[in-house]
Copies of this chain bind each other. A is one copy, B any other.
Amino acid sequence: MHESGVEGAYGSGRMSRQRLLIARVAASMPGAFTIDALCSAVRENDGSTGVATVYRAVAVLLTEGWLERVGERDGHALLARCPVGPRHHHHVVCDECGRVEATECPVVEAPGHATSASFVITRHEVTLYGLCPQCAAEASAEGVR
């Protein structure tokens, strides 16, 4: 594997053992994750890594665009390594397993849209939630049981 592009993750910042670990763990997450899930996973791998380091690293990864905020759950931000890059897109989050995929923008920029017609829309946030193929299959199996 090509290390998932971990090398440039911190931009011009220095690469340390901890930062490498944090980026690797983040990249290996199956889907969206909260910061403290990341903390746990990192510390499980190396208990000597402090939480502050994880927070600082994540802040850098976010400003570098290597990680993204893709939504939220129970008031906690959901992060994910998004392969799409800076192109305009949104995310689908699996409510069951947290898997995240990029999706095309489902928003109609209809100019005559009812109440919003008088607003000048500059940006929008969209997150779709549901079940990924695997979880959907399991759920329907449960239902039949």
Contacts and interface: CB of A to CB of B under 8 A. Distances in A.
A124 interface: yes
Contacts of A120: 130-131, 136
A2 interface: no
Nearest to A103: B116
Contacts of A108: 106-108
A138 to B, nearest CB: 12
Contact of A107 (B107, B114, B121, B136): B107
Interface residues of A, number: 36
Interface of A: 71, 75, 77, 92, 94-95, 101-104, 106-110, 113-116, 118-133, 136
For chain A, what secondary structure do more than half of its interface residues adopt (helix, strand, loop), or is it mixed?
strand
B122 A125 contact: no
17 contacts: A92-B116, A94-B119, A95-B122, A104-B116, A106-B109, A106-B110, A106-B113, A116-B128, A118-B133, A119-B131, A120-B131, A120-B136, A122-B129, A123-B130, A124-B127, A125-B126, A125-B127
A132 B117 CA distance: 10
A127 B72 CA distance: 14
Nearest to A101: B115
A128 B124 contact: yes
